[in-house]
Amino acid sequence: MYKKEIEAYIESHKQEMIEDICSLCRINSEKMPYKEGMPFGPGAFEALTEALTMAESYGFSIRNYDNYVGTVDMNHKEQQLDILAHLDVVPAGEGWKETEPFEPIVKDGKLFGRGTSDDKGPAVAALYAMRAVKELNIPLSKNVRLILGTDEECGSSDIAHYYAVEKEAPMTFSPDGAFPVVNTEKGSLSGHFTADWEPSERLPRLVSLEAGIKVNVVPGKANAVVAGLEEHVLEQIAKDCTNKTGIRFEIRREGEHAFITAIGQSAHASIPEEGNNALTGLLTYLTKLPLAECGQVFMLRRLLSLIPHGDTSGRALGIAMGDEISGDLTLAFSLLKVWDSGLEGTFDSRCPICSTEENVLNVVKRNMADKGFTIHNDSMNPPHHVDGDSPFVKTLLEAYESYTGRKGECISMGGGTYVHHLKNGVAFGASMPETDNRMHGADEYAVVEELVVSAKIFAQVIVDLCS
């Protein structure tokens, strides 16, 4: 119903929609230091102000929640559907070639710029879906609300602030993933652990080890300093480890000290099997060196036995598991510091629907304690799942199929989205399954036609769910 009218409206407003996306993407809205009245800094504040002004100019009722979140309402009727998008972005980073990060430009059917796909482009597509329904005078019996957050990339404290005063709508989708529908998100355990021992000055010895940049990134590099070993020993064992692990080793000497860099392949922690972990590769190397026996060496061997190189399933920790809906548990050893008398580390595990604190957290605690490690987590983030046969999800899939001609199906992901803690929330759009938007990377882009069809699909969903 109303498909022909919706398609005609969005096509006729296509250029205007792209221009509105560009106006938001020219604003650097990465998280910045707090200023009075600007909880996430001036960039996020400016983007929220611009977006709400835009929505108000199209005749919508808006509300600002202390500059954490803004809302755009279709009407004042009973709440039925929330669309949850965000206006903050990750830092621009280096390596941009198509354009400067905050100078959006269309090339070859792609809109390049930071935020074009994550998530300003989809947010504006949702706004234009609401415009289409409003300006076509399609009658609705219930309300749809566009919720615009400003802290999704750094912890979602914006949404926590919003839901502290507002109730969830009966149905929520976030256009911050991909089509068709992401109805399952794995749980997670960021396992933070420590150990200590009596220091030793015996040679040869490990002076220090440091690896990892973020808990959700498989380390592509890891560094260590050793003392008291001859270069030919270091080089021969490095060669052997490279043959076994695929990790390369660069060794630089300064007097009695050797500075070792292990080089692997970085990856997102939700797909650790696509990387080659330099941290565990470096541990493998160090435990092969003829270091003097001490508490440090003993504990590093034990640590490697719990998370050996190449084990991305948590098998050695005793938590390997999986199910048909959400797939297998994954594990990435992502952060580690070692000094003369102790260590501190963190691993990132993405846990399927069948996971619980009893069969993951408690097992990890027990098995690590048996080896002398203390894990400091008291809880884990539970998995999220919405019934794929619910009328809500079926309506989303039907709209997707109608406007794309593709088969709609539910999919699972290892990462968490804005809707992870919402009872009836799913990720829906705004890119096609095969599209790599370079999200969070240089030359981020959105395919223009995918934004256009997203706006059409969202408009149809509004009509189907709120009429």
State the first-to-last Cα distance of the chain, in angstroms, to the nearest integer.
11
**DSSP strand pairing (425-427 vs 171-174):** parallel
Whole-number Å distance between alpha carbons of 277 and 264: 6
Count CA within 13 A, CB hemisphere, residue 84. Answer: 27
Residue 268: half-sphere exposure toward Cβ, Cα within 13 Å = 11
**Calpha distance 205→151 (Å, rounded):** 44
Name, in order, each residue with C-beta under 8 angstroms of 141's C-beta and a sequence gap of 6 or more.
77, 78, 466, 467
Cα 265 from Cα 246, distance rounded (Å):
10
Calculate helix-pair angle for 120-135, 42-57, nearest 10 degrees. Answer: 20
Nearest partner of 411 among 322, 326, 323, 321, judged by Cα: 326
Instruction: Given the residues 50, 82, 88, 151, select the one marked as catalytic.
Output: 88
Residue 411: phi, psi to the nearest 5?
-130, 165
79, 38 in Cβ contact below 8 A?
Answer: no
Helix (H) or strand (E) holding 130: helix 120-135
Q: Give the DSSP letter of residue 293.
A: P
Contact 438, 444 (CB under 8 A): yes
- Residues 461, 467: Cα–Cα separation, whole Å: 10
Question: CA-CA distance, 132 to 333, in Å (whole number)?
Answer: 47
The angle that helices 3-12 and 448-466 make with each other, rounded to 10 degrees, is 140
CA diameter of the chain: 81
Q: At what angle do helices 231-245 and 278-288 cross, to 10 degrees?
A: 130
CA distance 293 to 48: 59
**What pairing do the DSSP bridges indicate for beta strands 330-339 and 143-149?**
unpaired
> Do residues 461 and 6 make contact, with C-beta atoms less than 8 angstroms apart?
no
Catalytic site residue from 151, 152, 176, 185: 152
**Tokens 């602030």 found at:** 161
Based on the residue annotation, tell me whether 88 is a catalytic residue of this protein.
yes
ω into residue 430 within 30 of 0, thus cis? yes
Q: Residue 100 catalytic?
A: no
Pairing verdict, β 79-86 and 171-174: parallel
CA 5, CA 187: separation in Å to the nearest integer? 41
Which residues does the annotation mark as catalytic? 88, 152
